Amino acid sequence: MKFQFVPELVKTDLEAVNQKEAITSLVTLLRKEGCVQDDYAGLVLEREQQYPTGLQTKGAAIAMPHAFDERIKDSHVAIGILKDAVSFHNMEDMEESLNVHIIFLLAVGQAHEQLEMLKILMGLFQEETMLQKMLATHSSQAICDMLNGYVQQQA
Amino acid sequence: MKKIVIACGAGLATSSMVKDKVEAILKQKGIAFQTMQCTLTEVDNYDGSVDLIITTMRVRKKYHSPVLSGSAYLSGVNEDEITAKMLEILQG
């Protein structure tokens, strides 16, 4: 099955005062879709402390929080476009903070066989204009249409 | 045969992304390689016996094998610079 972005897992104008709130709210989306269990937010927050995932790309400052959880079956991503940026530590340098505007909350099932979603995301992180367009789009459906269009182009 | 270890926090998500990119570059350059993927704490098991260690985050620990930060392959920022350094280490 081909990976597709779904509007149920995209939140535009996400309001959060900090990374904890943002992560919790995106995990709620994943939970509603049955992708993760209740305790996933805690696992992700804990891991984010130890191994931060903030990343400054050319298009936007992003973060891709995730945790290892063997109960996760398939790979999913919940996307949050923040109304106001929240702070994440930089993956490249833990002592540095980044004001993150887009969060890709990953739930990765056995990654070695499920590289497809990760490859798509890695390509997307390098698409400067696409990330900027995401910031200016306020509909989950419109974002999914744009991203799925991008996925098709790559295939 | 060049041995390369690619590590991230859980040896799961970001290292898979970087591994994919690195393998594509090495194939294109015709360099014979073997990649291993692991967590940052497991790097010690390979240190000294591999040609290159690539980590997705900057590590302050000193290793015997050369170390590069591979986050450029995720962000697209300074990617060419990292590729040049990687090829210099592997071909030099």
Count H helices, E strands: chain A? Answer: 5, 5
Residue A68's pLDDT is: 87
Distance CA A47, CA A6 (A): 26
Q: What is A7-154's CATH number?
A: 3.40.930.10
Residue A73's pLDDT is: 87
**Residue A74 C-alpha, separation from nearest chain B C-alpha, in angstroms:** 13
**Residue B39 C-alpha, separation from nearest chain A C-alpha, in angstroms:** 11
Nearest to A92 among B9, B58, B76 (CB): B58
Which regions in chain B score pLDDT beneath 70? none
List pLDDT tens digits, range B20-46.
999 999 999 999 999 999 999 999 999
Nearest to A51 among B9, B17, B37 (CB): B9
A146, A49, A143: which is closest to A102 by C-alpha?
Answer: A143
Residue A113's pLDDT is: 57
Residue A92's pLDDT is: 87
Residue A94's pLDDT is: 86
pTM of structure: 0.93
Distance CA A125, CA A116 (A): 14
User: Which pairing describes strands A61-63 and B2-8: parallel, antiparallel, or unpaired?
Assistant: unpaired
How do the domains of chain B map onto residue ranges? 2-75
Residue A112's pLDDT is: 54
The complex's ipTM? 0.86
Mutate which of B74, B79, B81, B82 to disrupt the A interface (most A C-beta within 10 Å)? B74
Distance CA A44, CA A29 (A): 14
Mutate which of B8, B15, B16, B43 to disrupt the A interface (most A C-beta within 10 Å)? B16
How do the domains of chain A map onto residue ranges? 7-154
CA quadruple A138, A140, A141, A146: dihedral positive or negative?
positive
Please confirm, yes or no, whether B38 is among the known catalytic residues. no
Residue B5's pLDDT is: 97
Residue B11's pLDDT is: 78
Beta strand extents in B42-81 (DSSP E only): 52-55, 67-69
Residue A111's pLDDT is: 53
| Topology at the third CATH level for domain B2-75 | Rossmann fold (3.40.50)
Residue B9's pLDDT is: 84
Distance CA A140, CA A150 (A): 15
Question: How does pLDDT run along chain A (155 residues), one tens digit per residue?
Answer: 578 999 999 999 999 999 999 999 999 999 999 999 999 999 999 999 999 999 999 999 999 999 989 899 889 999 999 999 999 999 988 889 999 999 999 998 875 556 889 889 999 999 999 999 999 999 999 999 999 999 998 87
